[in-house]
Amino acid sequence: MKKGLLAATIVSISCSSAVFANQACDETVLHGYMGNIKDEMQAMSSDVKSGDNEAAAQRVNTLITYFEKSRAETPFKFTSENLQGNELAQQQEKYTKVVDDTIVILKNLENALQTDNATDVRKWLGEVGGQRKIGHGAFKANC
């Protein structure tokens, strides 16, 4: 009887929402959007290489929508570090700022593609890569 109770308690603790909230880092909604961003970035690079700037500009538009969705998400790092209250709000604000900067750069890239300005296309592509480094350095968990 005692053993049964112990087993039931263990099952109930391990199935509690607190444990379930601690999801794996590759299961977040944000992780899903990032996968889409990676695929779209690769397709956009191929379009640029093959000289189809119009198709590339369309991809950039899609990228912007994924970043707009990502903006509303909370990086897994904040959850795993159990950030709360002011600290969470401050980190979330920093995160949305980097997302907003990235969207501005993507809009500049879109404009450079639409006006066939190859120098600017290279410049803004480089800046998107820079945002990736900044974003991952600050907000991606080590897992």
Which residues of the chain form contacts with ligand HEM (CB under 6 A)? 28, 30-31, 34-35, 37-38, 41, 75-77, 95, 98-99, 102, 128, 131-132, 135-136, 139-141
Rounded to an integer, what distance in angstroms lies between the CA atom of residue 127 and that of residue 124?
A: 5
- Which residues, 6+ apart, have CB-to-CB distance to 108 below 8 Å? 120, 124, 127
Hey, what amino acid is at 55? Answer: A
- What one-character DSSP code corresponds to residue 74? -
**37 vs 57 by CB, closer to ligand HEM:** 37
**53 vs 105 by CB, closer to ligand HEM:** 105
In the complex, minimum distance from the CB of residue 43 to ligand HEM, in angstroms, rounded to a whole number: 12
Contact status, residue 109 vs residue 124, Cβ threshold 8 Å: yes
**112 vs 128 by CB, closer to ligand HEM:** 128
